[in-house]
Structure 1
């Protein structure tokens, strides 16, 4: 199971939507507080790119040496059509400063020094210290998960449904199976119909890239077919 720090790091480096909540600018339109890009620095700090006219930039610039509290809220939505599509949320809170000279004209880079990390997702909820977040690695499949899940859903729906054979009597007749989440440890499928529930199908061993994933998926499908 990935740690809370790893899960949050994965969400930060994913394509999930995010909004920066800044003390004193809560009344701003939410789309004005969505970073154009986000990345993680070597010490775990977050770098968030905004238009120079963003309320977040104005607040960070005016704060100068004062500590400006802010929270990056990330919402993870399943990339396939499925009931209850929100897979989780993460909050990275800390202190915001502007970093002149790191962005093109008309834009400004903001730095969020991490103070606290909290995640509530399909694995459960948990928190992490800044040092744990800084030392965590994102899941190696994060850049490909959306495409892979959509491909499994559209091109391998029958095989995904066939995984129900590994669950015995747990799956009611007529249930539909939708691939919900994918990581280096395995595949999570949501079964819908008479009742809705998730099932995890673990790989024989964690995968480190798409090539290893293909082998693991073939093994999983072969087990269900046997």
Structure 2
């Protein structure tokens, strides 16, 4: 992650806990590191209602073997990477690190845990648990996120109370479509940038209920800019209106028929 965040106005933005929950939902893969061992891929990573993090790792890997054989919990570090939806010069939007002791999931609880995960994230990789993968549980001791705003930690209670952004699932296809088919929209949003950034290459970087984010790639570095909505939105209709207002479109509700 390079560059710096630029604030256009003092408006509401996602809390640290909300940013972490959204980043965790978008990050389809992660790595789990144990002291003295090479990191391994963690296909599934899910914060459970009780505050434990469910993690799946290869059944024949070091993590599954060491945690399964150890008489005491084994300390681990889970790293999640949130990539930008578009191929940018610097593709990483944020990194999340979750640290804590690891336990094998009790065999009689595995099915119930997988059901809980599947209700929110029906990932086909869940079907590999018990065959190619093993389910581990991490007690959360610390959570840290790092992005263009800097690094910040958040407590477990705040993390459990937060929810992912409502537009997480649609963000990637929506921004890719905007970049490929609606450069006029990007140009109108870019007109809101400080004059010092308007000469750079402007690309869509992110979208959430609080606003739109642009990445400006210049010869001097990368800059992330948040364009806040007039107020937070919760559905696609509200999002459409907010984008029109941000663009300066006079038809907030779309084109109107002539009287």
- State the TM bucket, normalised to the shorter chain: 0.7 to 0.9
Question: Which one of 202, 211, 214 corresponds to residue 186 of structure 1?
Answer: 211
**What's the TM-score once normalised by structure 2's chain length?**
0.76
Q: 2:141 aligned with 1:115, yes or no? A: yes
Gaps of 5+ in 1: none
Tell me the alpha carbon deviations over residues 119-177 of structure 1, each in whole angstroms, 9 at most, x when there is no partner. 1113332101222222221122222221122112112122112212223533344x321
Residue pair 1:50, 1:109 contacting (<8 A) in 2 also? yes
Structure 1 pair 105–160 and aligned structure 2 pair: CA distance change class (3 A): same
Which residue is 1:206 aligned to?
232
Residue pair 1:44, 1:134 contacting (<8 A) in 2 also? yes
Which residue is 1:144 aligned to?
170
Counterpart CA distance in 2 for 1:223 and 1:164 is 14
Count, aligned residues: 218
Question: Which one of 239, 242, 247 corresponds to residue 216 of structure 1?
Answer: 242
Counterpart CA distance in 1 for 2:43 and 2:96 is 18
Structure 1 pair 159–224 and aligned structure 2 pair: CA distance change class (3 A): farther
Counterpart CA distance in 1 for 2:198 and 2:229 is 24
Q: 2:81 aligned with 1:69, yes or no? A: no
**What's the TM-score once normalised by structure 1's chain length?**
0.86
Deviates most, 7-16 or 92-101: 7-16
Q: How does 1:134-173 map to 2 (within 5 A)?
A: 134-167=160-193, 169-173=195-199
Q: How does 1:17-166 map to 2 (within 5 A)?
A: 17-24=29-36, 26=37, 28=38, 30=39, 33-64=40-71, 66-99=72-105, 100-101=107-108, 102=110, 103-166=129-192
Tell me the alpha carbon deviations over residues 161-211 of structure 1, each in whole angstroms, 9 at most, x when there is no partner. 2212223533344x3210011111111112234554332111111122333
Which residue is 1:177 aligned to?
202
Q: Which gives a bigger RCO, structure 1 or 2 (Cα 8 Å, sep 6+)?
A: 2
Gaps of 5+ in 2: 1-12, 111-128, 252-259
Residue pair 1:139, 1:184 contacting (<8 A) in 2 also? yes
Residue pair 1:45, 1:134 contacting (<8 A) in 2 also? no
Which residue is 2:15 aligned to?
3
